[in-house]
Chain A
Amino acid sequence: MKFSLGVPLMHHGEETGFLGGEDLAELAQAAERAGFDSFYVTEHPIPGNKWLSFGGHHAPDPFVTLAWVAAVTTKLRILTNLTVLPYRNPFLLAKTVATLDRLSNGRMILGVGTGYLKPEYFAMGVDFEERNELFDESIDVMRATWTGDAVNYEGKHFNAREVSALPRPAQETVPIWIGGNSKLSRRRVAQKAQGWMPMPNPAANAKSTRSPVVETLDDLAALMPYLNEHLAAEGRTDPLDIMFMCFDGGAPEDKAFNVQQHLDALRAQEAIGVNFSALNGAEGSKEQALEAVARYGEEVIATFS
């Protein structure tokens, strides 16, 4: 199992921890020291107030934040978890990702999803009903752009003639990880991606996130056969990364964190094919967040290495 640390979620009006570069550098360096494989940031450029008032959260620009993280670390991989692919023109996003991959010397993982927040889609000026078409076309456009060769592309939403983007990324294949539990997401993973990020999705949220319920490990295991069928149908034999979250035993910032229960759950996840575990940084004070990272490294990550 490998581990990925997320920058703590930001809530309106609360202390803006880890937005300042020095604090952010401390957190990223602490993650690297603790043995985390990667560091992730989510994305919410301008969420709707209704969602914000019902438990939603703010987020920094993931690419700017990850550039900062890359500059102050050496091994930590950098991951968007996740960026809403239809929010950006794919040629522009390809340039952003290629730049990050270059500057980090090949540490970039692009985690993408279709998103679900209509008011944010409106503000982006992107048609929510077209999100799936845009998503599929964007992956094809980015792959073509990352070759560095002249691109001639004629799609339904994107067109380009004799344009090219240099420098190309450092990695031969920039890993794309796709988030979401739906059959469509799993088919896309099999067809186009290097990783899958299923999400814990309680029944109470399933309507707003428009995605199948995942509350238990059995729920997650039940999604695997369909993915595996499609991987086989695509003739895929390369390894696929699967990242999930583990809430068993509580959170490392809590005194009551039950390490053994947490480790058992991680082993059980491993047994069904999960090989990455994502942990959101602790909300609250900077000291608490840094302590939780160190503790998680000693008590959890160390037992997997």
Chain B
Amino acid sequence: MRYAVGLHAHHPVDPEFFSGPFLAKLGRAAEDAGFDAVFFTEHPMPSDDWLQSGGHDALDPFVALAYIAASTTTLRLFTNLTVLPYRNPFLLAKSVATLDLASGGRTILGAGVGYLEAEYAALGVPFEERNDRFDESLGLLRAAWTGRTVTAESPRLRAVGNTAWPAPVQDPLPIWLGGNAKITLRRVAAHAQGWMPLINPRALGARRRSRHLDNLDDLRGYLAELATECERIGRTDPIDIIYLTLAGGSPLADTFDAPAHLAGIAENAALGVNWNIVTIGGGSPNEVLEALARYGEMVIDAS
């Protein structure tokens, strides 16, 4: 099992969480604790409505990950997740390639379609085009990352013989796709190195515009769909499965039950999950750093 950790920011967040010195400490603490990756989410311009009802403040994930990368040596740098249609694919390709080159090949691009219509509107991206744009981006990212001449033509953009150079260190650069929709599973099988199923309680209904996932039977069912799809297209190389467990409670709490948490991880692993993500938030900056170290001792070292 490999481990990825992310900071759960709130709204409004304690500004220290979003300072350079804290991010450097966070990266080093994660590396010391045995985490394989650190992740950031993305919300450039959320609606106030969403912020008031459980949403959170966020940094630009590429800038934050670059800052952490400069302060660490082995930790992988993971966007969990970036909303692919928010950016022109060539601009995104350049950001990711730059991070990968600077970090010596530590980048993982986690990508999703997103669901906040107000944010789509502010960014000037038609919400109804999100799937077309997503598919287009997957193709053009790979084309740009060859470092060779790109030609492309779509209703949105045109490459008449352009080159983005140099290519990233990793080939292929890992793309992990998030979401539970059938179309997501098809895209994972066809284009991605990893799948990030998204906990989506039935109680939330359709807010996230994705199929529900709140128990292991759901996950088992979706993994079977993914396996069937891989078989259909003849894909045989392994796909990383990135998931989490809520068992044992919050790693920040005194009541955190590490054995129960480990049992939850083991249940996931039995289904094929090979990356465990944990989100730490709700305490002070120091408490978060302590929780990372404790998680390393009680979970990562014990697994």
Say whether A21 contacts B164, CB under 8 Å: no
Q: Which listed residue, B19, B51, B93, B103, touches A103 by the CB 8 Å rule?
A: B19
A88 and B122 contact, Cβ closer than 8 Å, known pairs A20-B101, A71-B24, A119-B162: no
C-alpha gap A50/B71 in the complex (Å) = 38
Say whether B20 contacts A92, CB under 8 Å: no
C-alpha gap A100/B64 in the complex (Å) = 8
Which residue, A60, A105, A157, has most C-beta atoms of chain B within 10 A? A60
Say whether A160 contacts B160, CB under 8 Å: no
A residues within 8 A CB of B256?
A: none
Say whether A123 contacts B95, CB under 8 Å: no
CB of B183 to closest CB in A, whole Å: 23
A160 and B121 contact, Cβ closer than 8 Å, known pairs A99-B60, A103-B20, A122-B157: yes
Say whether A96 contacts B60, CB under 8 Å: yes
A92 and B44 contact, Cβ closer than 8 Å, known pairs A61-B95, A71-B67, A124-B91: yes
Q: How large is the interface on A (under 10, 10 to 19, 20 to 34, 35 or more residues)?
A: 35 or more
Interface string of A271-292 (1 = CB under 8 A from B): 0000000000000000000000
Q: Which listed residue, B18, B48, B66, B68, touches A150 by the CB 8 Å rule?
A: B48
A residues within 8 A CB of B144?
A: 46
B161, closest chain A residue (CB): A49
- Which residues A155-188 have CB closer than 8 A to chain B? 157-167
> Is A244 close to B, CB under 8 A?
no
> Is A82 close to B, CB under 8 A?
no
C-alpha gap A192/B150 in the complex (Å) = 37
- Which residues B32-67 have CB closer than 8 A to chain A? 44-49, 51, 57-60, 62-64, 66-67
Say whether B162 contacts A20, CB under 8 Å: no
Say whether B102 contacts A21, CB under 8 Å: yes
A residues within 8 A CB of B19?
A: 102-103, 105
Interface string of B271-297 (1 = CB under 8 A from A): 000000000000000000000000000
Say whether A24 contacts B102, CB under 8 Å: yes
Say whether B15 contacts A123, CB under 8 Å: no
C-alpha gap A187/B102 in the complex (Å) = 38
B102, closest chain A residue (CB): A21
A123 and B162 contact, Cβ closer than 8 Å, known pairs A21-B104, A49-B149, A163-B48: yes
B residues within 8 A CB of A96?
A: 60, 62-63
Say whether A45 contacts B70, CB under 8 Å: no
A71 and B47 contact, Cβ closer than 8 Å, known pairs A48-B162, A52-B163: no
Say whether A25 contacts B101, CB under 8 Å: no
> Is B1 close to A, CB under 8 A?
no
C-alpha gap A95/B159 in the complex (Å) = 27
Q: Which listed residue, A45, A63, A91, A125, touches B122 by the CB 8 Å rule?
A: A91
> Is B79 close to A, CB under 8 A?
no
Interface string of A123-145 (1 = CB under 8 A from B): 11100000000000000000001
A residues within 8 A CB of B11?
A: 166
Q: How large is the interface on B (under 10, 10 to 19, 20 to 34, 35 or more residues)?
A: 35 or more
C-alpha gap A151/B101 in the complex (Å) = 36
A residues within 8 A CB of B97?
A: 61
CB of A218 to closest CB in B, whole Å: 38
Q: Which listed residue, B24, B60, B88, B152, touches A95 by the CB 8 Å rule?
A: B60
C-alpha gap A71/B48 in the complex (Å) = 31
Say whether A60 contacts B45, CB under 8 Å: no
A28, closest chain B residue (CB): B70
Say whether A157 contacts B59, CB under 8 Å: no
Other 6 A-B pairs with CB < 8 A, given A71-B24, A164-B45: A67-B64, A88-B91, A99-B63, A102-B59, A161-B118, A167-B57
Binding site for B on A (CB under 8 A): 10, 12-13, 16, 19-21, 24-25, 45-50, 52, 58, 60-61, 63-65, 67-68, 70-72, 87-89, 91-92, 94-96, 98-100, 102-105, 119-120, 122-125, 145, 150-151, 157-167
* 23 interchain pairs, CB-CB under 8 A: A20-B104, A46-B94, A46-B164, A49-B149, A58-B166, A64-B62, A64-B102, A68-B66, A71-B70, A87-B91, A89-B123, A96-B63, A102-B15, A102-B18, A103-B63, A119-B162, A123-B162, A157-B124, A159-B122, A161-B121, A163-B118, A166-B13, A167-B18
Binding site for A on B (CB under 8 A): 11-13, 15, 18-20, 23-24, 44-49, 51, 57-60, 62-64, 66-71, 86-88, 90-91, 93-95, 97-99, 101-104, 118-119, 121-124, 144, 149-150, 152, 156-166
